[in-house]
Amino acid sequence: MTSRRHFLFFAAIAAPALVAPAIVHAQATERAVAFVKATGDKLVAVVNGPGSAADKRQALTKIIDSAVDVDGIARFCLGRFWRQASPEQQKRYIDLFHQVLVTNITAKLGEYQGVKFTMGRGRQQDDEEIVSTTVERPNNPPTAVDWKVSQESGGMKIVDVIAEGTSLRLTQRQDYASYLSRNNNDVDALITAMRQQVNGQNG
């Protein structure tokens, strides 16, 4: 009986330590789901709402800057070339990456009129949370979109968007690596191409 009492005693002590991480993870997932829903609602409200393209671009820029880890995604997309770039090149690249991201979204605003955003479930993957959603547009089949959310910096930030199983940041990283390999691994050449992309789509 003494051994049994000792076992129960230690089990009672250990149980909270075993349960606590699961509760913490569940709470983190719930917060990530709420965060993605709030962000999605804001994006949809701007896209479907009134206002000029310039007004919508400004509103979307604020949402993206607050909800997305743009700097972190930019560094990821440049891959090994980030370390090779000078501080001045890194700054110009980051600034342009912000503009390219917003430009790519706002250039297709017309295609997203009437968009609907349906929440799915959240789950933990490594140190990040994955929140599943379905995006519906008129005259288009529903698209499964997963939002990868990180809390490493203390606040929640979207670090990747996975559409129909394809990681957008990984695709962009591959595109940049391919472009650099065709241009003597010259980061300035990529920066110039990005600037032309922004100017061309805003022109």
State pTM to two decimals: 0.81
SS3 at position 132? strand
Q: What is the pLDDT of residue 91?
A: 96
The better pLDDT of the pair 7, 40 is held by 40
Residue 58: pLDDT over 80: yes
Pairing of strands 143-150, 128-136: antiparallel
Residue 10 has pLDDT above 60, yes or no: no
Three-state SS at 84: helix
Residue 203 has pLDDT above 50, yes or no: no
pLDDT band at residue 130 using 50, 70 and 90 as cut-offs = very high
The per-residue pLDDT of the chain, averaged, comes to 84
Q: Where are the domains of the chain?
A: 2-202
Q: Rounded to whole angstroms, how far apart are CA atoms 129 and 19?
A: 19
User: Residue 101 burial (CB < 10 Å; 0-12/13-18/19+)?
Assistant: buried
- Give the pLDDT of residue 126: 80
* 141's tokens: 């089949």
Rounded to whole angstroms, how far apart are CA atoms 185 and 153?
A: 31
180 phi and psi angles, rounded to 5 deg? -65, -35
Whole-angstrom distance, CA of residue 39 vs CA of residue 44: 9
Class of domain 2-202: alpha beta
| Alpha-carbon gap, residue 184 to 113, rounded angstroms | 41
Task: Pick the more confident residue, 89 or 49.
Answer: 89
Residue-wise pLDDT for 79-125, tens only, equals: 999 999 999 999 999 999 999 988 887 776 666 778 888 999 999 88
pLDDT tens track for 84-96: 999 999 999 999 9
Query: Is there a contact between 110 and 137 (Cβ–Cβ < 8 Å)?
Result: no
Q: Is the pLDDT of residue 155 over 90?
A: no
Cα angle: 191, vertex 110, 33; to 5 degrees: 80
**Residue 150, H or E segment:** strand 143-150
HSE (side-chain half, CA atoms, 13 Å) at 90: 14
> What tokens does 58 get?
């400004």
C-alpha torsion sign, points 152, 157, 159, 163: positive
| CA separation for the pair 178, 185 (Å, rounded) | 9
